[in-house]
Amino acid sequence: MVYRGWMLTPAEYEKVVAWLDDRGAKPLTSLEQYVLCHHLPNWYPRLADFTAETAVFPVDADIEAELRTLGWGKVF
């Protein structure tokens, strides 16, 4: 089974995997693979050499202060 649609949260994808399993089917992408690739903090360390420098901050971080410490001229 291949899911082609909007990105799901890991919990939503887990439900899809369980639904498929109940019907004797398997997803092409396992739950573990999905979680690894779904959120940037999980996959970035594996691809850092091939993409722009990236910083990940906690949800409660003071983003403006964090960006100042990086010394980047511009961000997007």
Distance CA 64, CA 66 (A): 5
Distance CA 31, CA 34 (A): 5
Asked whether residue 62 is assigned to any structural domain, the reply reads: no
Asked whether residue 56 is assigned to any structural domain, the reply reads: no
What is the total count of domains within the chain? Answer: 1
Asked whether residue 11 is assigned to any structural domain, the reply reads: yes
pTM of the model: 0.64
Range of the domain at 34: 1-38
Asked whether residue 47 is assigned to any structural domain, the reply reads: no
- 12-70: pLDDT as tens digits: 999 999 999 999 999 999 999 999 988 888 889 999 999 888 888 998 999 989 989 99
Asked whether residue 52 is assigned to any structural domain, the reply reads: no
Asked whether residue 60 is assigned to any structural domain, the reply reads: no
- 9-25: pLDDT as tens digits: 999 999 999 999 999 99
